[in-house]
Structure 1
Amino acid sequence: MKKILRKNVYELVKERLNYIFTKFDNIIVAFFGGKDSGLLLELVYQYYTENKCERKVSVYHIDYEGGYEHTLNYVKRCMGKYSEFDYYHICLPLSASCGISMYHSSWIPWNPEEENIWVNVLPYQSINLKNHEFSFFKFGMKDYIFQQKFSKWLHEKNKAKLTAVLIGIRAQESLNRYHTVTRKNTFTMFGEISYSKRVYHNIFNFYPLYDWKIEDIWTAYGKFEWDYNKLYDLYYQAGVSLREMRVANPFHDCGVHALKLYREIEPCTWGKLLGRVNGANFAAIYGGTKAVGYRQVLLPNGHTWKSYVNFLLQTLPCHIRAIYLKKFNSSKEYWLNKGGALPLSVVVELEKTTIDFQNLGFPKNNRKYKQEYRLIRFKKYPDEVNIKSFRLVPSYKRMCITILKNDTSCRYMGFSQTKDELQKQREAMKKWEKTKFI
């Protein structure tokens, strides 16, 4: 295992759990059915029994309706495994990320209007529309918003003073997760704990496995002979690399490139997925290729990136095209008139190109930057930017990749959810607010 300060990561995680259990009277474990959250559950129980804890511990799992049989079986084995803990197997119609359809940016598992095409039946003792007690729940609410509200609900239900939500994500997995678990902000951390994040006033997320490597995860499973999701054995036999083995919502945009594995590993489940969300078969064939914005995207002959953007927009349904156009025009307005902040290192790269821009000096806002930034305004929206950090700089090529990825939220371009999208979400929630299910 990795050595840090003469201690391995296993010794360090035990110290972290000891700190959390000492400071917090209410512990929640987020269990997703994969190797990391499964290991975290085992580590928490190991600490709990070794130290004869009396803290309240709850375990929750959000079921996305689809998924491999091995994952479903593993979840069944874990939910209720340790009698000392409380369990919440949640099967509610939440809005989940969808990266495979050009018609929808999200999908809703367990949608009662689509029960005839559900991939699976409701698990025994699950929390669903007919029996849930969540006053905060709204039909179609974002899954990550639900998780925040759920932690608050459990905090109040257990009459806790301080609640810690333990989440098994690691810095090694992706750059976004690296920033999530290592970002130091004294206003959002619990004390000086860098692997923590404030959710509400007395509720904090903790990432105690943040510095574990993939090798550490499997070493721990082997050393302690803990149960794990046997899907990983099939992944290994299929030639999937350790870092590419992923268990998640089957239509998540981060897992599009791996959707094709369903065909080889579980053809029966694959048949159900095909009829569940539009675009599944296309994503399975072309996921991870240039066709959907992965790897190096090539410009077709006779096109500039700007003309290619216009061509791609014409292939989309009108309502989806309008979403992209609004955000693309917003990007142009921002970078051509107001200007945007870029790291000084990126500005230095830009100065070596022929792109015409103005350096307006230091950003004039109250944001605290970790590195030196400059306010940049372009005289013409770039067609393509051939620098190492091209994702940070506006270009028509970046627009093309955004469309190819079915990224209607335009996160690839740095956008967050718009007011229009939030309004549509609220309208969907309102539609189902007073609906009762028998």
Structure 2
Amino acid sequence: MKVVESNLNVLQAAKIRIRNVFANGCKIYLSFSSGKDSLCMANLVYEMILSGELDPKQLTVTFIDEEGLYPSMVDAAYRWRRNFLSVGAKFLWFCLPFKQVSVIDHLSSSESWITWEPGKEDVWMRKPPDFAIMYSPYLHYAGEMNYQTFCSKAFSDGIQLVGLRTAESLTRFKCIANTKMERITRGGKFYPIYDWKDSDVWLYIKERNLEFPEIYMRLYEAGVRKNALRLCAFFGDCGTQGLRWIAETDNDLWERIQRREPNAYLVLLYWDSEMFRRTTRKRGELEEESEKKDYKALCKDLLFLHPERYTIAKDTLSHIEHWRGLFIKTYGIAEQKHYKTMYEGLLYGDPKMRILRILWTTIYNDHNARIKEEQNHGKH
């Protein structure tokens, strides 16, 4: 993948990109999630409106309320709704029954739940705002689609501005690399801060003294690394650390979470185990399994010999042939660490095949690096 250096800093580049997108004259949909990246995006656009560089009448800010959100995230959404409405932009707050990924339903072999599910109002984790949009003609039944698919359909008459960054994952890096951003038209997505690093995001927030969701500080105090501070709905793949913190500090919210998702207790028992794609040293010592498992043999058993012995969620199970293809085609070059990721990914769940796609690249990259190292060693 070609990387092009620029004489502009990332802030200057982002402003030019935003200015150019608005210059199209069409509707602009700014995705807001209350996370640190969308906070930077929101403030950039907001300040450019205040300075007269952008027309607020073109702008519609969209907030997909995932129900299972930290209170400080909800507070941030209210705050930025007031900001954008005050300058003449629109702000749409959606509380719709979308299908969401869940990593804590292994016992029922499910990998999803439905936000704001009709008929379950008595166990909703909180009440939606009075002004929230609870119906859409694009959504015919609860759980029909995830919010990404919905946004592509509902906002196809304009351009979506999304705070996606390449630094967050290899998958996102590939997404940006395959996007022809010089030809963004109606129905497309644009990523103005795609080249920002974590340090750029936090520096921007610090220098402007922006108020950010308190949960970031609490997760950092709980031991989450700075480059892993990502907020998602409670039952998403990056939400387990947050659920642990809630269980320890907020009894009322934890009770609401357990009413909504009875299997939430699994996080407290197994957050540091293979169930959640983690294995701490302490857990390994207690279970006497650290460095003793033959993950290659386990993957072979799970994929080919005795798959019926394992609990694999149906969404991941539907992609089992892709996993078998990975095992066969990388046989002989994959290492134990790759098989460990493969094994844990299958048990943990990979409904969007993110782990699978990354494994393909990682295995071949590691293999090529190993060959080069051997060649260099041979020259000496």
TM-score by length of 1: 0.68
**2:36 maps to amino acid:** K
The answer for the alignment partner of 2:182 in structure 1 is 191
Structure 2: which 5+ residue stretches go unaligned? 281-289, 359-380
**1:285 maps to amino acid:** L
The Cα of 1:408 is off from its aligned counterpart by 5.2
The answer for the alignment partner of 1:94 in structure 2 is 98
Given the superposition, is the C-alpha separation of residues 323 and 94 from structure 1 closer, same or farther in structure 2, using an over 3 Å criterion? Answer: closer
In the TM superposition, what are the counterparts of 1:57-72 in structure 2 within 5 Å? 57-72=59-74
SS at match of 2:140: coil
Provide the rounded CA distance (Å) in 2 between the counterparts of 1:183 and 1:248.
Answer: 25
The Cα of 1:70 is off from its aligned counterpart by 1.2
**2:344 maps to amino acid:** I
**1:142 maps to amino acid:** N
The Cα of 1:53 is off from its aligned counterpart by 3.2
Q: CA deviation digits over 1:164-203, x for unaligned, max 9?
A: 211112111111122222335xxxx2436xxxxx6xx622
Would the aligned equivalents of 2:296 and 2:336 in 1 still touch at CA under 8 Å?
no
The Cα of 1:285 is off from its aligned counterpart by 3.3
The answer for the alignment partner of 1:367 in structure 2 is none
In the TM superposition, what are the counterparts of 1:149-168 in structure 2 within 5 Å? 149-152=153-156, 155=157, 163-168=158-163
2:320 alignment partner, one of 325, 328, 332:
328
In the TM superposition, what are the counterparts of 1:336-347 in structure 2 within 5 Å? none
Q: Give the number of the structure whose residues are more often helix, by fraction.
A: 2
The answer for the alignment partner of 1:10 in structure 2 is 11
Would the aligned equivalents of 1:100 and 1:278 in 2 still touch at CA under 8 Å?
no
The answer for the alignment partner of 1:182 in structure 2 is 177
SS at match of 1:107: strand
Q: CA deviation digits over 1:142-185, x for unaligned, max 9?
A: 22111111212xx2xxxxxxx2211112111111122222335x
Given the superposition, is the C-alpha separation of residues 21 and 145 from structure 1 closer, same or farther in structure 2, using an over 3 Å criterion? Answer: same
CA root-mean-square deviation:
3.2
Provide the rounded CA distance (Å) in 2 between the counterparts of 1:181 and 1:302.
Answer: 33
Given the superposition, is the C-alpha separation of residues 164 and 400 from structure 1 closer, same or farther in structure 2, using an over 3 Å criterion? Answer: same
In the TM superposition, what are the counterparts of 1:235-274 in structure 2 within 5 Å? 235-274=219-258
Would the aligned equivalents of 2:295 and 2:343 in 1 still touch at CA under 8 Å?
no
Provide the rounded CA distance (Å) in 1 between the counterparts of 2:171 and 2:101.
Answer: 16
The answer for the alignment partner of 2:283 in structure 1 is none
Would the aligned equivalents of 1:290 and 1:298 in 2 still touch at CA under 8 Å?
no
Identity within the alignment, %: 24
Provide the rounded CA distance (Å) in 1 between the counterparts of 2:93 and 2:237.
Answer: 24
Given the superposition, is the C-alpha separation of residues 169 and 288 from structure 1 closer, same or farther in structure 2, using an over 3 Å criterion? Answer: farther
Given the superposition, is the C-alpha separation of residues 409 and 304 from structure 1 closer, same or farther in structure 2, using an over 3 Å criterion? Answer: same
**1:262 maps to amino acid:** I
**2:224 maps to amino acid:** V
The answer for the alignment partner of 1:277 in structure 2 is 261
Provide the rounded CA distance (Å) in 2 between the counterparts of 1:211 and 1:106.
Answer: 31
Provide the rounded CA distance (Å) in 2 between the counterparts of 1:301 and 1:386.
Answer: 11
Would the aligned equivalents of 1:91 and 1:122 in 2 still touch at CA under 8 Å?
yes
The Cα of 1:314 is off from its aligned counterpart by 2.8
Q: CA deviation digits over 1:311-331, x for unaligned, max 9?
A: 774353xxx677666643565
Provide the rounded CA distance (Å) in 2 between the counterparts of 1:96 and 1:90.
Answer: 14
Given the superposition, is the C-alpha separation of residues 111 and 13 from structure 1 closer, same or farther in structure 2, using an over 3 Å criterion? Answer: same
Would the aligned equivalents of 1:94 and 1:142 in 2 still touch at CA under 8 Å?
yes
The answer for the alignment partner of 2:274 in structure 1 is 290
The Cα of 1:401 is off from its aligned counterpart by 2.1
Provide the rounded CA distance (Å) in 2 between the counterparts of 1:322 and 1:220.
Answer: 42
The Cα of 1:335 is off from its aligned counterpart by 6.8
Would the aligned equivalents of 1:100 and 1:406 in 2 still touch at CA under 8 Å?
no
The answer for the alignment partner of 2:284 in structure 1 is none
**1:255 maps to amino acid:** G
Provide the rounded CA distance (Å) in 1 between the counterparts of 2:316 and 2:23.
Answer: 49
Matched, 1:218 2:202: yes
The answer for the alignment partner of 1:422 in structure 2 is none
The Cα of 1:116 is off from its aligned counterpart by 1.4
SS at match of 1:253: coil
Given the superposition, is the C-alpha separation of residues 246 and 284 from structure 1 closer, same or farther in structure 2, using an over 3 Å criterion? Answer: farther
Would the aligned equivalents of 1:58 and 1:87 in 2 still touch at CA under 8 Å?
yes
Q: CA deviation digits over 1:361-393, x for unaligned, max 9?
A: xxxxxxxxxxxxxxxxxxxxxxxx3177x47xx
The answer for the alignment partner of 1:47 in structure 2 is 48
The answer for the alignment partner of 1:232 in structure 2 is 216
Count, aligned residues:
336
Matched, 1:112 2:104: no
Moved more, 101-110 or 278-287: 278-287
Structure 1: which 5+ residue stretches go unaligned? 156-162, 193-197, 341-345, 356-384, 392-396, 416-438
Given the superposition, is the C-alpha separation of residues 399 and 326 from structure 1 closer, same or farther in structure 2, using an over 3 Å criterion? Answer: farther
Given the superposition, is the C-alpha separation of residues 214 and 105 from structure 1 closer, same or farther in structure 2, using an over 3 Å criterion? Answer: same
Q: Give the number of the structure whose residues are more often strand, by fraction.
A: 1
TM-score by length of 2: 0.77
The Cα of 1:86 is off from its aligned counterpart by 0.3
2:335 alignment partner, one of 386, 397, 401:
386
Provide the rounded CA distance (Å) in 2 between the counterparts of 1:149 and 1:275.
Answer: 32
The answer for the alignment partner of 2:355 in structure 1 is 412
Provide the rounded CA distance (Å) in 2 between the counterparts of 1:100 and 1:51.
Answer: 47
SS at match of 2:47: helix
Would the aligned equivalents of 2:277 and 2:344 in 1 still touch at CA under 8 Å?
yes
